[in-house]
Amino acid sequence: MNPAYLVGLGGALGAVARHAVYERVDNTTDVPRATLAVNVVGSLVLGLATGLGAAGVLGGDALLFVGTGACGAFTTFSTFAFETVDRQTRSTRAAAANAFGTLALALAAAALGFWLATLA
Protein backbone atom coordinates (compact mmCIF):
# COMPACT_ATOMS: atom_id res chain seq x y z
CA MET A 1 0.00 0.00 0.00
CA ASN A 2 1.11 3.55 -0.68
CA PRO A 3 2.88 4.95 2.43
CA ALA A 4 0.78 8.12 2.31
CA TYR A 5 -2.39 6.02 2.55
CA LEU A 6 -1.01 4.13 5.54
CA VAL A 7 -0.16 7.37 7.34
CA GLY A 8 -3.50 8.92 6.37
CA LEU A 9 -5.56 5.94 7.54
CA GLY A 10 -3.61 5.71 10.80
CA GLY A 11 -3.94 9.46 11.25
CA ALA A 12 -7.70 9.32 10.77
CA LEU A 13 -8.02 6.60 13.41
CA GLY A 14 -5.71 8.46 15.79
CA ALA A 15 -7.65 11.70 15.39
CA VAL A 16 -10.97 9.98 16.07
CA ALA A 17 -9.50 8.25 19.13
CA ARG A 18 -8.14 11.56 20.41
CA HIS A 19 -11.51 13.20 19.98
CA ALA A 20 -13.12 10.35 21.95
CA VAL A 21 -10.69 10.93 24.82
CA TYR A 22 -11.42 14.67 24.84
CA GLU A 23 -15.16 13.93 24.94
CA ARG A 24 -14.77 11.74 28.03
CA VAL A 25 -11.96 13.29 30.09
CA ASP A 26 -12.16 16.65 31.89
CA ASN A 27 -9.54 18.97 30.41
CA THR A 28 -10.37 22.12 32.39
CA THR A 29 -8.40 21.46 35.59
CA ASP A 30 -4.98 22.88 36.46
CA VAL A 31 -3.47 19.86 34.73
CA PRO A 32 -5.29 19.25 31.43
CA ARG A 33 -6.08 15.56 31.88
CA ALA A 34 -7.21 14.76 28.35
CA THR A 35 -4.06 16.18 26.80
CA LEU A 36 -1.92 14.43 29.41
CA ALA A 37 -3.73 11.15 28.74
CA VAL A 38 -3.32 11.22 24.97
CA ASN A 39 0.33 12.21 25.19
CA VAL A 40 1.23 9.54 27.76
CA VAL A 41 -0.79 6.74 26.13
CA GLY A 42 0.47 7.74 22.69
CA SER A 43 4.05 7.72 23.95
CA LEU A 44 3.53 4.25 25.41
CA VAL A 45 2.10 2.93 22.13
CA LEU A 46 4.86 4.58 20.10
CA GLY A 47 7.53 3.13 22.39
CA LEU A 48 5.95 -0.30 22.07
CA ALA A 49 5.68 -0.04 18.28
CA THR A 50 9.25 1.21 17.97
CA GLY A 51 10.51 -1.61 20.16
CA LEU A 52 8.58 -4.18 18.14
CA GLY A 53 9.99 -2.63 14.99
CA ALA A 54 13.53 -2.86 16.35
CA ALA A 55 12.88 -6.52 17.22
CA GLY A 56 11.69 -7.21 13.69
CA VAL A 57 8.11 -7.97 14.79
CA LEU A 58 6.61 -4.92 13.05
CA GLY A 59 7.64 -3.90 9.56
CA GLY A 60 7.97 -0.47 8.04
CA ASP A 61 4.37 -0.31 6.83
CA ALA A 62 3.01 -1.09 10.31
CA LEU A 63 5.31 1.53 11.85
CA LEU A 64 4.07 4.14 9.37
CA PHE A 65 0.46 3.25 10.16
CA VAL A 66 0.85 3.08 13.96
CA GLY A 67 3.71 5.47 14.67
CA THR A 68 3.52 8.25 12.13
CA GLY A 69 -0.21 7.99 11.44
CA ALA A 70 -2.11 6.89 14.54
CA CYS A 71 0.26 8.12 17.24
CA GLY A 72 1.04 11.29 15.32
CA ALA A 73 -2.62 12.25 15.18
CA PHE A 74 -3.51 10.92 18.64
CA THR A 75 -0.82 12.84 20.53
CA THR A 76 -0.47 16.60 20.52
CA PHE A 77 2.50 18.81 21.21
CA SER A 78 0.83 22.00 20.05
CA THR A 79 -2.14 21.64 22.40
CA PHE A 80 0.22 20.73 25.24
CA ALA A 81 2.30 23.87 24.56
CA PHE A 82 -0.76 26.12 24.30
CA GLU A 83 -2.34 24.76 27.48
CA THR A 84 0.92 25.20 29.38
CA VAL A 85 1.21 28.85 28.30
CA ASP A 86 -2.50 29.42 28.97
CA ARG A 87 -2.12 28.09 32.52
CA GLN A 88 0.93 30.29 33.07
CA THR A 89 -1.33 33.33 32.88
CA ARG A 90 -3.23 31.93 35.90
CA SER A 91 -0.56 30.04 37.81
CA THR A 92 3.13 29.57 37.16
CA ARG A 93 3.06 26.51 39.40
CA ALA A 94 0.27 24.89 37.37
CA ALA A 95 2.09 25.63 34.12
CA ALA A 96 5.35 24.17 35.43
CA ALA A 97 3.58 21.09 36.79
CA ASN A 98 1.91 20.56 33.43
CA ALA A 99 5.12 21.01 31.46
CA PHE A 100 7.43 18.90 33.58
CA GLY A 101 4.83 16.33 34.56
CA THR A 102 3.75 15.66 31.00
CA LEU A 103 7.33 15.44 29.78
CA ALA A 104 8.38 13.06 32.55
CA LEU A 105 5.33 10.82 32.19
CA ALA A 106 5.51 10.71 28.38
CA LEU A 107 9.21 9.81 28.41
CA ALA A 108 8.63 7.15 31.05
CA ALA A 109 5.71 5.73 29.04
CA ALA A 110 7.79 5.58 25.85
CA ALA A 111 10.61 3.82 27.69
CA LEU A 112 8.14 1.40 29.28
CA GLY A 113 6.60 0.62 25.90
CA PHE A 114 10.01 -0.01 24.35
CA TRP A 115 10.98 -2.22 27.29
CA LEU A 116 7.71 -4.18 27.08
CA ALA A 117 8.42 -4.80 23.40
CA THR A 118 11.72 -6.45 24.32
CA LEU A 119 9.75 -9.03 26.29
CA ALA A 120 7.83 -10.11 23.17
As annotated, the binding site for Na(+) includes 72, 75
Three-state DSSP at 90 gives coil
Please give the annotated binding residues, written as ranges. 72, 75
Give the burial class of 93: count Cβ atoms within 10 A of its Cβ; 0-12 exposed, 13-18 middle, 19 or more buried: exposed
Q: How far, rounded to the nearest angstrom, does the alpha carbon of residue 5 sit from its chain's CA centroid?
A: 21
